[in-house]
Structure 1
């Protein structure tokens, strides 16, 4: 690594049309200091180079190398990302960026960049190294966590109809403000954490929790939930399986709404350019008030992520749910299909665009109508992330989601536009 960094300085010096003996001497002194592992001296000598030379990719690479040795991780990340902004296909820079994230304990960002590196079709020896790093990340016993915070103007915070009245058995009833579309601004936070502990052989105990809270202008629409999960984690070659007991508690409008508990099984496999994930779950939903909506919820989901290049990947997700409630009118089938594309852009930007369709069909009409509810919701979401603006692993983003729910019942027919301004540790 040290000799390669020195060669980078030497190559940059030789490429300068105005190179002179003094500049070449500085390059030699930098290389000599690095050979002695005197990183501070090497940095001081490097700073003597002209500004136009300091701005070249080769010298920036050496600067990032020295920043890592001097413990200035954020500076190194910034330098690597600047180089990749100019050319996202720089495989060695991508790998060094991923290694730096790994050193900093940001496993999510490290994994993301390792997978982008694999999409650059590296030599076999490099591929083996990257796949080994990915497995190391997956098997780490450390805490893993994520957090996001967003301010979101929303044209329909309660996902309700525009209609002012509802007809029940032919008679008109005026809807309350809470039952009609309400716009507003909300503050949303989401967080999760997980820890794995070795048990025996390739078996581990995985323990985790999560929380999400939305504080709306109107307290009646405040929404919050907390969840925990725990269970064994098994490894068979490159396949990871989790079997966990799960439970969560939800509040709405400042009051308790429901409790859910059950069992969930997940599988994840694939270390190369493609990664797959599958989930099966059985849970019981228990509402605080009334029993008609209490239900057994059966869920299944599958997704596939494919890294196409060092700057792009896509994801396909399929999901299905069955709610078997105490009353047929509250029982339903639900299916969802979505596909998203991630693309890096100039100026340190990246974009994620995801269209989706969701279909919900209830078993029987409610007591207030003669038709069983049938909904089809179409949505398009997008998120623009400023990747090179980072603070403790967080980057700012702006996102938007436009949705249209078409229902055979007027009260469930609505449109919605939600915009977010926030910061996150994930894309």
Structure 2
């Protein structure tokens, strides 16, 4: 198959703008829709952080019960992400993502009926089971459409939706919980789960009709556009050199296990901020649910800007290690300063914003790293394995914070531990992740 790299120089130069146009078309077709799904997924995952502001008093749950319930979500992730990604590789993205989206929407709605810690734990676990595979599935899916030099920006655009979800989710949660509290005899947190679960169910149905599995099946691209994209992807695949293709090869690759550890350090901070940031803001004296929502919206808006900017700069520099490591270090500093600044609300909020920006900006460029070592089935299994195992930090860190708060009455010790873990990211990538070789 011919590609731009085998053409004469003049032709190669002339095709570059055309490829740019094609990839722009792909981006406009795929990324807004995928980002919308990620907004819904993220809202349904983290709305528990806002529901907590009413839910704990209504149900008489302790911080330790909340921390375990918030984090047990990631146990569902751990057990079901790899099978989900292998299924995506086998039956296609749209069927897999449809199943995932409808499932998590229904479980989100079911959370409105929680009355006991046991029900809380079971439903949070099931939410993780149903959402398992979505995030790594999209990471794998985008490798079908973009060569390596264009992926970090695509990842950044997609993943920034989690920050956008924070921008939308905070004020939305505040409005629902304040405006509907007591309506039909339900608390505001019950209305929150109902109203935010329904759009996910509807979006899952739309997914089946809208999404295209691979470029070969894109009836919205011309035959020539398909040929150029496939040739570009093939050339990129060849430029990467030897990479493992089988699932067992991925499991035996020590670099993959090092990437698990790197991502674990990032997720420890990300999950802690996700589930406890509204509580931290409340502790600074902002008691209105609506006010807390708007403060979190501003912080996550900065996080979205950071994710996109870091992804674009990573693509421009063709470098991922340092863009990931230093962003995580900035996030760790923010977490640490926020932990010890509770007597200064302005400084604590600024530090919390820095923590969110740094931590979230590390995530899109991190996902460039596995593709240096894996492709094919190994990529499907390896990406899911990294995400599922590393996300055990999402189980452990919130649980630890809840226990620390219950036992000591303060989050300080727990947050400093989280900051120390996240700071390890830079050391790990410098010591164990090799620089990418120039193509």
Report the TM-score when normalising by structure 2: 0.26
Report the TM-score when normalising by structure 1: 0.27
- Structure with the higher helix share, 1 or 2: 2
- The structure number with the bigger radius of gyration is 1
Q: Which has the higher contact order (CA 8 A, sep 6+)?
A: 2
- Structure with the higher strand share, 1 or 2: 1
